[in-house]
Structure 1
Amino acid sequence: MIGFNSCKESKQKAKEEVVEEKLPNIVFILSDDQAWTDYGFMGHKVIETPNLDKLASESLTFEKGYVPTSLCSPSLASIITGMYPRKHMVLGNDRVLPGEVRESKAQWKSTQRPKNYKSVIENFRKWNTLPKLLKEKGYLSFQTGKWWLGNYKNGDFDYGMTHGDPNRDGRHGDYGLEIGRKGMDTLYNYIDLALEKKKPFFMWYAPYLPHSPHNPPDSLLQKYLPKAPTEYVAKYWAMCEWFDQTCGDLIDYIDKKGETENTLFVYVCDNGWIQNENDSSYDKISKRSPYDYGLRTPIMYKWKGKIEPKQDSLTLTSSLDMVPTVLSIVGIEQPKNLDGIDILDKSEVEKRDAIYGEIYSHDFNTIEESLYYRMAMTNPYKIIVPDETNKPNEEIKLFNIYKDPTEQHNLAAELPEIVEGLKQKIETSWNE
Structure 2
Amino acid sequence: MHFYHCCRSLLLAALLCSWAAAADTPPNVVLILSDDQAWSDYGFMEHETIQTPCLDKLAKQSLTFTRGYVPDSLCRPSLATIISGLYPHQHGIVGNDPPKSAKGDPSSPYQTGTRNDFLQHIDKMPSLAKILKQEKGYVSHQSGKWWEGNFSRGGFDQGMTHGDIKRGGRHGDAGLTIGRKGMAPVFDFMKEAKGDGKPFFVWYAPFMPHTPHTPPERLLAKYRDKTDSLPMAKYWAMCEWFDETCGQLMDFLDEENLADNTIVIYVCDNGWINQKDASKYAPRSKRSQYEGGVRTPIMVRWPGHAKPQINSTELASSIDIVPTVLTAVGIEKQPEMEGIDLLDAKAVAARDAIYGEIFEHDVRAMDDPVKSLRFRWVIEGPWKLIVPYAPNEPNEKIELFNVVNDPTEETNLAAEQPELVKRLQAKLDAWWSVR
2:236 aligns to what? Answer: 237
SS in 2 for 1:94: coil
SS in 2 for 1:28: strand
Matched, 1:403 2:402: no
What RMSD, in angstroms, separates the aligned Cα atoms of the two structures?
Answer: 1.8
Give the CA deviation at 1:98: 5.1
1:327 aligns to what? Answer: 326
Say if 1:19 and 1:331, in contact at 8 Å, map to a contact too: no
The TM-score, its normalising length taken from structure 1, stands at 0.91
Matched, 1:306 2:305: yes
Distance 1:98 1:417, change over 3 A: farther
Matched, 1:394 2:396: yes
Say if 1:29 and 1:205, in contact at 8 Å, map to a contact too: yes
Amino acid at match of 1:349: V
Taking every aligned residue pair, what percent have the same amino acid on both sides?
53
Alignment of 1:2-401 (within 5 A): 20-96=23-99, 99=102, 116-135=114-133, 136-366=135-365, 367-401=369-403
Amino acid at match of 1:120: F
Say if 2:67 and 2:313, in contact at 8 Å, map to a contact too: yes
1:12 aligns to what? Answer: none
Give the CA deviation at 1:260: 0.8
Give the CA deviation at 1:233: 0.2
Give the CA deviation at 1:431: 4.8
Amino acid at match of 2:63: L
Taking the aligned partners of 1:389 and 1:98, their CA distance within structure 2 comes to 20
Taking the aligned partners of 1:293 and 1:390, their CA distance within structure 2 comes to 22
Structure index of larger Rg: 2
Say if 1:19 and 1:330, in contact at 8 Å, map to a contact too: no
Moved more, 341-350 or 284-293: 341-350
Distance 1:259 1:117, change over 3 A: same
Distance 1:114 1:149, change over 3 A: farther
Provide, for residues 159-183 of structure 1, a one-character-per-residue CA deviation record: whole Å limited to 9, x for no partner. 1100000111100000000000111
2:8 aligns to what? Answer: none
Give the CA deviation at 1:148: 0.5
Taking the aligned partners of 2:23 and 2:254, their CA distance within structure 1 comes to 23
Taking the aligned partners of 1:368 and 1:130, their CA distance within structure 2 comes to 26
Say if 1:18 and 1:330, in contact at 8 Å, map to a contact too: no
SS in 2 for 1:125: helix
Taking the aligned partners of 2:78 and 2:189, their CA distance within structure 1 comes to 25
The size of the alignment, in residue pairs, is 405
SS in 2 for 1:307: coil
Give the CA deviation at 1:346: 2.6
Structure 2, gaps ≥5 residues long: 1-19, 105-110
Taking the aligned partners of 1:350 and 1:361, their CA distance within structure 2 comes to 33
Give the CA deviation at 1:122: 1.4
Say if 2:100 and 2:112, in contact at 8 Å, map to a contact too: no
Say if 1:97 and 1:365, in contact at 8 Å, map to a contact too: no
Provide, for residues 207-250 of structure 1, a one-character-per-residue CA deviation record: whole Å limited to 9, x for no partner. 00000000100000010000023000000000000000000011
Structure 1, gaps ≥5 residues long: 1-16, 102-112
Amino acid at match of 1:130: L
Taking the aligned partners of 2:49 and 2:324, their CA distance within structure 1 comes to 33
Give the CA deviation at 1:115: 5.4
1:412 equivalent among 402, 411, 414:
414
